[in-house]
Every structure is written in C-alpha cells, then in structure tokens.
Structure 1
Amino acid sequence: MTLAGTSLVFAGIGIFFGAFDASYLLATPSRLFGIVNNQTLIAVPLFVFMGVVLERSKIAEDLLVAMSGLLGRFKTGLGVSVVLVGMLLAASTGIVGATVVTMGLLSLPTMLKHGYSPSLATGTICATGTLGQIIPPSIALVLLGDVLSSAYQKAQLDMGIFSPDSVSVGDLFVGALVPGLILVVFYLLYLWAVSKFSPSQVPAHGQESEHANLKELLLALLPPLILITAVLGSILTGKATPTEAAGVGAIGSVILALLKKTISVGNTKYVVRETTKVTSMVFLILIGASIFSLVFRGFGGEELLQAFFTDLPGGAFTAMLLVMIVIFLLGFILDFIEITFVVVPIVAPILLMMGLDPIWLGIMIAVNLQTSFLTPPFGFALFYLRGVASDLVKTEQIYKGVIPFIIIQLVLLVVMAIWPEIITWLPSVVYDGN
C-alpha cells in the first residue's frame, strides 16, 4: 500500500509542477487487469495451496523422524537429515516459513539436546528452510519468471528485434535444479567441515535412536517423491506448463492428505485461509510495484538508469556486479517479493540488452534473493525460527549461525558467475531433447 501510495503522491506533485506526464497513469487500469488476468501467476495460489496442505498433513514430521532415525547414529547425522528433509520439503512445498517453523519445532530441541551448538543448529535450520527459494517448484521462481519474461520482451523490442522467443517459468525451474543441488552439497560439506575442524559445535557421538528403520523411511519418502516427480516431471518432459503442473501438485497434495486421513473441516478452513492471505499479499505488492514502475518511468528514471549502466567502465560485468550488490544490500531491509517486483523490472531489460542470458540472469538473482531470508535484521527465516525457538536460544546466536550459510550462498553466486554452464547446461539439454 505504501509502495503504490507514495508513487501516486509523487505523481501528483510532478503533475502540479509540470514535471510528470499524467498520460503515464492512463496505463494503470490495463496494467492491473493484466496482473489479475495473468495465466502464469495462477501458479502462485496453487503452489501455496499445495504447500499448506502438505504442512498440515504432517508429511515433514514423518520424514524428519524417519530420516533422523536412520542417520542419527552418525556424528552429524541429525544435521544431515535436517538438510536432506529440507531439500525434499523445498521440492514439494516451496514455502520457506512452513519449512523453518516445522524444522524449528521438531528438530531444534533434539539438536540442542544432543550437543549441537545453538548457532550451528539454528543456522542449519534457517538456511535449509530457504532452499524453497531456489529448488523448484518455487514461488519466487514463478514470480521472477513472469517479471523476466516481460523484461526480455521489452529488451527485444528496444533493440528492434521482433521475436516470439521468451523466457518462461519452466526455463527457470530447469535452470535452478543444478544450482539448488550444489547448494545442498555445500551445506553438507560445511557440516562435515564443522565436525572436523570445530568438533565442539557438534555432538561427540551420534544420536541413539530406536527408529532406525529403512521401511519407515521409505514409507515417509514415497509420498513427497511421488508428488515431486509428478510436478517437476511433467514440466521437464514438456507435458505441462508450470501453471498446469501447479494444478497437478495441488490435487496431488489433497490426495496425499486423504490417504493420511488428515483432511478435516478445521484443516480445510486453515488451508483456504492461509492460501488466500499469501496470495492476496503477493498480488497487492505486485499491483503496488506496477504503479511504482509506471511513475518511475514517467519521471524518466528508466532512461537515467540505462544511461548510467551504459557509461559504466567494464560494460555488462560491472553493471551485473553493481546490480547484484544492490539486490544483496536491499535484502537486509526488503522482502524478496518487493525486490522482484520493484527492482528487477527496472534493471533486467538493461542487463538483457547488454547480451546477458535471461535464464542465467534469473537464477543469479534468485540465489541472491535467497540471502534476503537470512540477512539480519529483517531476514524472514530468522523471525520464523525466533518465534518457535525456546528462550534458551538467544537471537544473537541465530544471527551468528546464519552468517556461514550466507557466505556459502555468496560463494555459489561467484561459482555460477565464473561457470554459467552450471545454470545453462540443463535447460539446453532438456529443450534440445524436446
């Protein structure tokens, strides 16, 4: 509301002093209609619905109990199980808040009880929860894909190219798979390194468990794996668009809930209410950002930025580095949705006109935005965990615990910048194959 309101106030001031052309605001109704009529964005409520249904179905609890029971006997087995379960939850729900809260309630007390340092335990849970930002099906990638698609078409038109080619949400899903898995490996390597070089932060021995049962693990793994295969498999094989796959996921989550007998009137009300709240928030921010971009363009901000980036020494490299730094710093104070809808539409067309690959650009921005969930003071994952952690865990320990994981994500950004094939290889294989 502030985003739209401030923009309109400045537009009014600009009109009064003759510095703003009021005709720019005439595009507002068509812009708003375009937002609510956007086929791609239908995936947002569907993926949110799927995630909330799975959260209420206790699938995460079953997974965590079974995985920690099997791996708990090893020194860092509980930490590894948290990362692996978080990866599976990211690929089946994509909702950061639900993952962090669930892990915080289920695994944090157990990790602390068995000798994990509070900073390592909380850092692992927060960072694992943010995997839902990069591992598809991710709501962040859905929103980013829609914004980048418009930016790519604008860049093409500005360069005088009339091409039907575009960048889709499906492109970003495919491009994000390898970086997402690499990030999981980095997290696991970090846990191993801590156990090797700072053994005081991890338990001296593995967790004794009576639940180390392979059959239980398979039964817990099967439902989310089937859902992941149905959603991502339909996209990768070209059988469904991301929006259609979101529908498959929503129906699949209901079927799993029915099989687990967790469907009730109370749960259904909760699922519908939460889905409506999150979807309303996303669309209201998008509407506000759309009005902001119209006013920004009306004041000549876009031409000013384009001239600034074009005159930078070092060309596309310097421009991309500057944008990445700005997005990272904005992550300290803004939510990823605001950054996606406000900053990306302004800078993406300029960067794409400089010849950057749209899929590579999208995944680089997505991983950068992922850090916004971890960076103090306003990292959402930190607040989610603080809300469910006991008073024995201090806020400063949570902040300290996420710093190594923020560094890991920044290292991944550098690796992807040096070797862009990490992102572009799988899309080229999938789409050449289709």
Structure 2
Amino acid sequence: MAISEWLDILMFAVACGALLCGFPVAFTLAGVALIFGLAGMWFGVFDFGFMAVLPQRIYGNMTNEVLMAVPLFIFMGTMLERSRVAEELLENMARLFGSLRGGLGFSVSIVGALLAASTGIVGATVVTMGLLSLPTMVRRGYDPSLACGSIAAAGTLGQIIPPSIVLVLLGDTMANAYADAQRAQGIFALDTISVGDLFAGAIIPGLMLVGFYIAYQAWRAYSDPASSPAMPPEDDLTRKELYSRTLRALIPPVTLIISVMGSILAGIATPTEAAAVGAVGAILLAGERHERTRRAVRIAALALVALLIETSFMDLRTSRSDIGVVDTIGIWVAFALCAAIAWSLLASLIQLARQKTLQEASQSTARVTSMVFVILIGAALFSLVFRGLGGDTTVEHFLTNMPGGAMGAMITVMAIMFLLGFFLDFIEIVFVVVPLVAPVLLQMGIDPIWLGIMMAINLQTSFLTPPFGFALFYLRGVAPETIRTGQIYRGVVPFVMIQIFALVVIALVPGLATWLPHLIFG
C-alpha cells in the first residue's frame, strides 16, 4: 500500500509524538498540518483549496458568542481565587467536619465541589487546597497518599460541575458535530444542543461523583482508622459560632452559583450572559472583602434584590408607546437601582486596582484565554488537513466496523480518549479528537447530551492520570518536601477508578445525564 494512503494516520501519530516531546501545542498542530498538507500535495492526494476555508474558520471562532463565555468564566474563577473565598471555606469546613473520622477528607470534597461550581478552574483549586489542607492533613496523621488523592480529585471537579470551561468548549464542539451528523443523514431541519444542555446534564453526574468520593473516604476511615483520624478541636468555638462562621463563608459562593447557574437553568440568560453575571459577581465579592467597599457592595446586593422583585411585578419596558404613571415611577426606580449597582462595581474595581488584584486577574485571564484560542486556531488547521487527507473517512470506517455496533464504537472511543488523556491535555482532545469521532457516533443514534457528559467525565480523568496529569503537577508544586511523587501517584489511583466506575454507571443509566436537560429545556 502506498504511503500516500497512510498520510492521515501518520499525521495523527506524528502530532501525538511531537506533543509528547514537549513542543508547544498550537504550533505543533499547525506545523504538522502544514507539513502533511504539502506532503499530500506532493503525492497528489490533498487539495490545497481546503486551506481557503481556514480564514473563515478562524473568523467564526473569534466571533462565536458561545466561546465568549471562556474568558468571562476564567476571569470569574481567577478573581474568586484571589479574593480568598476558598481559604475561608476550607478553614470553616475543616472545623465543621474535622471532629469526624475522615472529616478533613469530607471537607476537601465538599469545598472542591463548591469551588468547582463557582470558579471552574482546576489549577487554582488544587493549588489552594494543596497549600491549605495538605499540610494540615499530614500533620493530623492522615495517610499522605489518601490526602494527596483526595485533594487532586476534588480539584478536578471543576471540569464536570458547571460552569466549566471544558463544558463550554465541548458544548460548542458537540453542537457543530451534531449539526454535521444530521446533515450527513439528510436532515436539514436541524435539532440543536447548547452549552446550557450540557450544564444541566452535568449537574447530577457531578454531584454523584462527589458522593462517590465521600463514600470512598468514609470506607477508608471505617476500614483503616489510622489513615483518617479525627481532628481534635483547635479552639473554644461553640457550635453556634461554628455554624455562624460556616454560613458566612458559604453565602458568597452559593449566591454566585445560584446567580450563574440559576439564570441559565431558568432560561433567563444564555451561558455567555451568565458568565458576564458571574464576572461582575466575582468583582463584587472580591470588593466585599475590603473594608472601604464593603458597604457599597452590600448596598448593591440590596439594590439587585429590589430590582429582581420589581421586575417580577412591574412592566419595565421603555419601548412601549403607552406607559402609565406607576410604570414610569417603577422605571425611574429601576434606573436608580442600576446606578447603585454600577457605583458599587466601580468602587470595587478601584479598590481591587489599588490592591493589584484586578491587574493580576486580568493578566491571568489574558494568558489562559490566549492559550485556548491559539490552540483552537492550530486545531482548526489540523482538522482541515486531516479531513483533506481523508482522515474523517478513515475514522468513520474504523468506528462503523467495530463489533457491537454503536455501543462497541462508543466503548472504543472512550478507551482511546482515556489513553490519550495520559499524554494530552483536555483542550487538544476537545479540539482535535472530538470533532473527528463525535459526528460518526451521533450518526449511529447516540444521544448528544449523554455523549457530551461521558466525554466530559473522561476528560476530567486526564487531569489525574500520570505521567502528565495536570492536577498532579499542580499538587507536586505546592506539596511539602516530605510528600513523595510516588505517594501522589498512588493516591490518585482509587479516584481514577471511581471516575471509571462513574462512567460505567452513566453508561448503564443514561437518564442521569439526560433527564434534567429534557425536564428543563424540553
């Protein structure tokens, strides 16, 4: 068989090899694509006209309203991470559950879930909990491997519990794949899925995963008490004072979660609009932690509540031709309430700028967003060349000829993604692998929401699998010198098995992923 017939497979293999050698992802994808595009032209099996689509692809990605949520969610998470919300949550949850055997592990999982629902950034969560919880857990006699595994696994919950950057990127990719699959079947009255569908579908599996983590830690505490000792009280706080402190620490992130997720699930806002709400809310929460702006933020909170109540009982549209006296007064009151919120936001921004927090959060957001979109451009070029070489046909033949039909193809794709997760980042898998396999699987009749959630949990596992699991690198960077790398690797193995078990459960009971989106969005 001529080498020209293997160019698509060689292209994918060379790209994986270059990534394993440590070359930058975006430039690797684009460079390999150009080399194999020229090779395909040389052998006469590639039409360079495919490249003419690239500018349109790039423009479409840069103007994609869904992808605008990415920098907003990143900014929200970065701002919250620097506002020390996580520190307060961890300290108070540790006091609340620490007296139980295994209680520190419970608190880490619960705080990880709350931070996942309010920040969605794995690196910030793992680093914060690694700095604050790991030394305490080791000092209190916890098994180092169990402590490391609990923190790393809880930190990755930001990949499955919405709002999640993975779900935003995966939602956009799945929507395009679903449209391609329907057109390939001759269906032109296209059904659609959205990021909101995946957000709703991920809630139950995400909470189930938290429950599995806590159940495993409870089992370890019961079967091996020495691995998870109870923590004696460190101070003379009464139960009432403890509950009061914990409630005060819970209110800010829970309020933000309700504002962001509630607006999406209630159909009030799109994910992009909700991301903007989250970014503004994160600024206000960060401002509330400073004495100078605390009063202004609380006034803004009251103004927001009043505005929501007013919109529930009055028609505040200004475009009407006939506006009554009562509605006119209500509109002017709404303007005043909006002005109070804007004043509080401006005061918070000024204070955060003085503290250098705003600059740090903005720079971090710019760096991460640039990385995501540069990889997206490289992946677009890679995808065009791969399809031009017939790679999509190769993938389709491979999956459709798998024994077991749709389920056999699904299991194969999940296994391939799991293995790729040992070496590749979730962004490369979302932008390169998912567009190739998802249309084929969807043509086989697989539910797109169920497929998206299965892929999201599989991608979450890539953060924990050695040797290149990012959560392991983050934790290794902040762990005490007494913690060995081998202990971190051993600690995450049970949690990787738990995630595989969760995949099996969702595969057997698809309604865990599809029931809530169908209930909310029909």
Q: Same fold (TM over 0.5)?
A: yes
Residue 97 (structure 2) aligns with: 71
Equivalent residue in structure 2 for 1:28, among 54, 63, 81: 54
1:209 to 2:209 alignment: no
Equivalent residue in structure 2 for 1:88, among 101, 114, 117: 114
Amino acid of the residue matched to residue 225 of structure 1? V
Residue 13 (structure 2) aligns with: none
1:177 to 2:203 alignment: yes
Larger Rg over CA atoms: 2
Q: Is the 2:101–2:225 contact (alpha carbons within 8 Å) kept by the matching residues of 1?
A: no
| Equivalences for residues 345-364 of structure 1 within 5 A | 345-364=435-454
Residue 149 (structure 2) aligns with: 123
Amino acid of the residue matched to residue 146 of structure 1? D
1:102 to 2:192 alignment: no
Residue 334 (structure 1) aligns with: 424
| Equivalences for residues 11-50 of structure 1 within 5 A | 11-50=37-76
1:219 to 2:252 alignment: no
State the shift of 1:308 in Å. 1.9
Q: Look up the SS of the partner of 2:268 in the other structure.
A: coil
Identity of aligned residues (%): 58
Supply the distance in 2 between the matched residues of 1:65 and 1:192 (Cα, whole angstroms). Answer: 20
1:271 to 2:351 alignment: no
Which piece of structure 1 moves more, 120-129 or 4-13?
4-13
Q: Is the 1:151–1:345 contact (alpha carbons within 8 Å) kept by the matching residues of 2?
A: yes
State the shift of 1:163 in Å. 2.0
Q: Is the 1:328–1:368 contact (alpha carbons within 8 Å) kept by the matching residues of 2?
A: yes
Residue 380 (structure 1) aligns with: 470
Amino acid of the residue matched to residue 99 of structure 1? T
Which piece of structure 1 moves more, 131-140 or 302-311?
302-311
Supply the distance in 2 between the matched residues of 1:340 and 1:291 (Cα, whole angstroms). Answer: 14
State the shift of 1:97 in Å. 0.2
Supply the distance in 1 between the matched residues of 2:216 and 2:464 (Cα, whole angstroms). Answer: 17
Which piece of structure 1 moves more, 65-74 or 44-53?
65-74
1:316-370 CA-to-partner distances (Å, cap 9, x unmatched) read 0110000000000000000001000000000000000000000000000000000
Equivalent residue in structure 1 for 2:515, among 413, 421, 425: 425
Q: Look up the SS of the partner of 2:424 in the other structure.
A: coil
1:414 to 2:504 alignment: yes
Residue 224 (structure 2) aligns with: 198
Q: Look up the SS of the partner of 1:316 in the other structure.
A: helix
Amino acid of the residue matched to residue 209 of structure 1? E
Residue 153 (structure 1) aligns with: 179
State the shift of 1:284 in Å. 0.8
State the shift of 1:22 in Å. 0.7
1:251 to 2:251 alignment: no
Which piece of structure 1 moves more, 174-183 or 260-269?
260-269
Q: CA RMSD in A?
A: 1.0
Supply the distance in 2 between the matched residues of 1:198 and 1:215 (Cα, whole angstroms). Answer: 33
1:280 to 2:309 alignment: no
Amino acid of the residue matched to residue 498 of structure 2? I
State the shift of 1:314 in Å. 1.1
Q: Is the 2:86–2:115 contact (alpha carbons within 8 Å) kept by the matching residues of 1?
A: yes
Supply the distance in 2 between the matched residues of 1:79 and 1:304 (Cα, whole angstroms). Answer: 46
Equivalent residue in structure 2 for 1:294, among 371, 384, 399: 384
Supply the distance in 2 between the matched residues of 1:256 and 1:309 (Cα, whole angstroms). Answer: 49
Q: Look up the SS of the partner of 2:462 in the other structure.
A: helix
Equivalent residue in structure 2 for 1:235, among 244, 261, 264: 264
Supply the distance in 2 between the matched residues of 1:113 and 1:309 (Cα, whole angstroms). Answer: 51
Q: Is the 1:75–1:207 contact (alpha carbons within 8 Å) kept by the matching residues of 2?
A: no
Amino acid of the residue matched to residue 278 of structure 1? V
1:266-311 CA-to-partner distances (Å, cap 9, x unmatched) read 1111101000000001001111111111000000010111122122
Supply the distance in 1 between the matched residues of 2:258 and 2:401 (Cα, whole angstroms). Answer: 47
Supply the distance in 1 between the matched residues of 2:370 and 2:412 (Cα, whole angstroms). Answer: 32
Q: Is the 1:83–1:124 contact (alpha carbons within 8 Å) kept by the matching residues of 2?
A: yes
* Moved >6 Å (runs of 4+): none
Supply the distance in 1 between the matched residues of 2:247 and 2:492 (Cα, whole angstroms). Answer: 31
Supply the distance in 2 between the matched residues of 1:163 and 1:148 (Cα, whole angstroms). Answer: 17
Q: Look up the SS of the partner of 1:373 in the other structure.
A: coil
Q: Is the 1:114–1:207 contact (alpha carbons within 8 Å) kept by the matching residues of 2?
A: no
1:52 to 2:78 alignment: yes
Amino acid of the residue matched to residue 252 of structure 2? P
Supply the distance in 1 between the matched residues of 2:124 and 2:374 (Cα, whole angstroms). Answer: 21
1:135-166 CA-to-partner distances (Å, cap 9, x unmatched) read 00000000000000000000010000012421
State the shift of 1:200 in Å. 2.5
Supply the distance in 1 between the matched residues of 2:244 and 2:353 (Cα, whole angstroms). Answer: 28
Amino acid of the residue matched to residue 128 of structure 1? A
Supply the distance in 2 between the matched residues of 1:346 and 1:88 (Cα, whole angstroms). Answer: 34
Supply the distance in 1 between the matched residues of 2:448 and 2:101 (Cα, whole angstroms). Answer: 42
Q: Look up the SS of the partner of 2:423 in the other structure.
A: coil
Which stretches in structure 2 are left out of the alignment for 5+ residues?
Answer: 1-26, 291-350
Q: Is the 2:122–2:157 contact (alpha carbons within 8 Å) kept by the matching residues of 1?
A: yes
1:235-278 CA-to-partner distances (Å, cap 9, x unmatched) read 01000000000000000000111111272441111101000000
Supply the distance in 2 between the matched residues of 1:90 and 1:39 (Cα, whole angstroms). Answer: 23
State the shift of 1:207 in Å. 3.2
The two structures have a TM-score, normalised by structure 1, of: 0.98
Supply the distance in 2 between the matched residues of 1:214 and 1:199 (Cα, whole angstroms). Answer: 27
The two structures have a TM-score, normalised by structure 2, of: 0.82
State the shift of 1:209 in Å. 2.8
Count of aligned residue pairs for this structure pair: 431
